[in-house]
Amino acid sequence: MNAARPRKSSSLAEALASPAGVIRLSIVGTPLSILPDDIRTLHDLELLTLNGNGLEALPPALYELPKLRVLNLFDNALSSLPDGLSRCSRLASLILGNNPLRRLPEDLARCSALRELNLANLPQLDFTAAWSVITKLRALEKLSLYQNPIDTLPESIGQLGQLRVLRLFACCISHLPGSLAKLSQLEELDLRANRLTDFPFAEKDFPALRRLDLSFNPMNSAGTGERSRNAPC
């Protein structure tokens, strides 16, 4: 028997009616409070985009997708995620921004393939507890935490030694831990619109840095502060 041809779909009903070969499913701006358990039949699915659908809950069946690499849940109504996320062993990108999430599932820390995590604009998230999950994701290369009420970063941030992009604009950060200098792979560090009065690091601390943006912090009275790789920090 020949394998089903890879295909994309923008209709959940269509994808579930003929699930074989569906590698991408994108449903955006469609009223959808919960995904059906039949989502588990999409065995070939690699990229799932569910932006702006008003989703209130996810079924554990979602984690039965063996090939899932990208899960985009931006801008929904999710206050929690079911446990079992680590069963998605190939998951490389998880986008959770702009949801009323209160906590991160503990087993997210065991998603060893995760390279990108977006937790932007999660004002109800308990970051005190979330940091213990985030900083265990040692393979992370891109971390977006912008527009959150974060006043400082934990010292454990230095454990994310593979980070290349760290986006923290429009938080409430007034202090940066010394362990930030352990992120020697950083290429982009966005700290716009925070409460920083200084940036206590030298150029040598970030040898790979190409973009540092400190605009709109108290240290920049004129509101400018973007620096290139060749400029001293």
pLDDT tens digits for range 110-141: 999 999 999 999 999 999 999 999 999 999 99
pLDDT tens digits for range 64-93: 999 999 999 999 999 999 999 999 999 999
DSSP string of 84-98, one letter each residue: -GGG-TT--EEE--S
Query: For position 232, what pLDDT does the model report?
Result: 30
* Domain ranges across the chain: 7-228
Query: For position 204, what pLDDT does the model report?
Result: 94
Determine the residue type at 136: K
Burial class (CB in 10 A: 0-12, 13-18, 19+), 194: buried
Query: For position 230, what pLDDT does the model report?
Result: 34
Query: Any residues with CB less than 8 A from the CB of 17 and at least 6 apart, and which?
Result: none
Angle at 64 between CA 63 and CA 69, to 5 degrees: 65
Query: For position 229, what pLDDT does the model report?
Result: 38
Query: For position 4, what pLDDT does the model report?
Result: 77
Question: Which segments in the chain show pLDDT lower than 70?
Answer: 1-3, 220-233
Query: For position 104, what pLDDT does the model report?
Result: 97
7-228: CATH architecture: Alpha-Beta Horseshoe (3.80)
Kindly report whether the global pTM for this prediction surpasses the value 0.85: yes
Phi and psi at 93, nearest 5°, equal -140, 125
* Distance between CA atoms of residues 224 and 138, nearest Å: 33
H/E segment holding residue 49: strand 47-49
Query: For position 5, what pLDDT does the model report?
Result: 86
Which residue has 């701006």 as its token pair? 29
* Distance between CA atoms of residues 128 and 132, nearest Å: 8
